[in-house]
Each structure stands twice: as structure tokens, then as C-alpha cells.
Amino acid sequence: MVFLPELTRAYRHNLNGSSLERGATQLEVKDVSLRFGGVQALEDVSLAVRQGGIHAVIGPNGAGKTSLLNCISGLYRPQRGSIALQNGKRHELTKARPSRIAKWGVARSFQNIELFKHMTVLENLMLGRHTHMRHNVLTALLYWGPAERQEIRERELVEEVVDFLELQAFRKQEVGRLSYGFQKRVELGRALCIQPAVLVLDEPMAGMNTEEKEDMARFILDVNELAGVTVVLIEHDMGVVMDISDRVTVLDFGRVIADGEPAQVSSDPAVIEAYLGEQRAA
């Protein structure tokens, strides 16, 4: 990897699961349409996520941002279109189970925290390693040989994520008892443990105060710049979006109304109209 190797030297594991060169198309969404009964949630949505970038998806409420993310992670199946992930080979995501998509390297966090709240922080992060482990009921029942060695091996990577996200103090605490901000951070950690090719974050800063937002923004930048992980995120805080992302796609009523660099998008008349309404002559 080309990303500032001198800074990542302390970590032995590479959290970036992609083998692509920086700038190559990692994830390609093409003409995706999703309909729930009479509601057209997405209509011919196309976008390309480049390896190594932070790609923000923005838009007013109900624009279809989360629906798009759910299509990418396999929770929804679009009626038309294709979503292709390049990781080793081309994977078509629209017809695969979510667990399969996770195995191919798409990790995500949820808008309303979906952690395993009765488990400890460590156990939650270890679940992020699930796809990298071989599971055998018999050795598990005996906690013998390969089962034990595997737990220890995966724990090493998990500890690096703990260190990376500064979660040392909470390792063995039940996540349900952590504050909202830390829960969001654990959820980011769990996704990171997958060693994702694409890290999909659904409103990672929703409901946070300024300080927590700054922390989260720093972690996302670290994940992207130090670990080289490609990030796709939905965010409502325009300041954050414009500051950290290097590409922005704007959705409105299920359609892409703008796509490009942050500066370019923020001055786009269609975007201004979608957010502020039509400008009227006085």
C-alpha cells in the first residue's frame, strides 16, 4: 500500500481489504431502481466509488440514501440495475445474501446503532472477524487446538482496532452500557474488523455534539488516510461532508441530481434548490 507506511508501522495488520490501486473503481452502482409498492425509492441511480476515497451521499430526508446503502449491503434487492464490487474479481451484489456481501468486503454501520448490546466491546469486534474465521462446531465445543489458536490470532487484530479507535478502557464492558458516542465508535470498529474493501457508514455522526463529531471525523479520516480504507458515508452535517469527503453524490426523490467534488456540488443550482427550495423573484 502506498499510504504513509511510516505512520502505520506500529500495526501489523492492514485494515484495508482491497487489492485495488488507489483511484480505481472499487464499487460501481449502475442504473439501480428500487420500488416499494407505489413508492419509487431509487430510480436509475448510478455512481462510482473510487478506491482510497471518501465518498459522501447526501440529500434531503426521504431521498433514498439509506435505501441505496441497503441495496449495497444486500438488505434490499433492487428491481433493476447492478452493483459491482471489484475485489479480487467482480462481485455482483444485487443478487447476494448480506452475509456473503460482508465476506466479499463490504462492511457497514447503521443509522440507529445495531450493536450486539449484551456483548462486550471485544466480543462485538470479534464478530467483525467472523468472516475471516473458520467455524467448526466440534472444535468449538471442545475449545481445542484450531479453535483456541484462531481466537488468539484474531484477538491480535481486534486489539489493533481497539488501539486505533482508542477503546482500551472499554474492552470488557457491555456495549449496551456505553454512551451513544462510544457505541457509534464500537460500531465503526466492528465494521473495520471485517478488513473491508468498502466501509459503508450510515450517518456516523447523527445525534452527536460538536466534540464527538470532531472525534468521529478524525477517526474516519484516520481510517481512510492511515489505513487506506475506502469510505462511503451518509451525513447531514454539510460542514463535515464538505471538509472530509473527496466526492459527493446528491440524491433527491430517488434520483441523482449532482455528483462531483464537494465544491462543485455545493454550488450546483439543482442541489441548492433541493435543499432550500426554489428561489423566487422578489
Closer of 90 and 97 to other proteins (Cβ):
97
Closer of 45 and 193 to other proteins (Cβ):
193
Work out whether 234 is an interface residue with other proteins (CB under 8 A): no
For residue 278, what is its C-alpha cell? 426554489
Task: Give, in order, the Cα–Cα distances in Å from 278 to each of 39, 256, 270, 271.
Answer: 24, 18, 9, 10
- Most distant CA atoms of the chain, gap in Å: 78
Among 79, 177, 209, 214, binds other proteins (CB under 8 A): 177
Closer of 40 and 131 to other proteins (Cβ):
131
Work out whether 206 is an interface residue with other proteins (CB under 8 A): no
Query: Cα(201)–Cα(236) distance, rounded to whole angstroms?
Result: 12
Work out whether 90 is an interface residue with other proteins (CB under 8 A): no
Q: Segment near other proteins (CB under 8 A), from 43-51, 60-68, 100-108, 161-169?
A: 100-108
Q: Which residues of 30-53 are buried (b: 16+ CB within 10 A; e: fewer)?
A: eebbbeeeeeebbbebebbbbbbb
Burial label, 253 (beta-carbon count in 10 A; 0-12, 13-18, 19+): middle
Among 9, 12, 89, 172, binds other proteins (CB under 8 A): 172
For residue 92, what is its C-alpha cell? 455482483
Among 92, 114, 163, 166, binds other proteins (CB under 8 A): 114
- CA triple 98-102-107, angle to 5 deg: 110
Closer of 64 and 128 to other proteins (Cβ):
128
Work out whether 79 is an interface residue with other proteins (CB under 8 A): no
Identity of residue 69:
L
Q: Segment near other proteins (CB under 8 A), from 11-19, 41-49, 56-64, 96-104?
A: 96-104
For residue 175, what is its C-alpha cell? 456495549
* Interface contacts to other proteins, rule CB under 8 A: 73, 75, 97-99, 102-103, 107-108, 110, 114-119, 123, 126-131, 133, 135-137, 139-143, 147-148, 150-152, 155-156, 172-174, 177, 190-191, 194
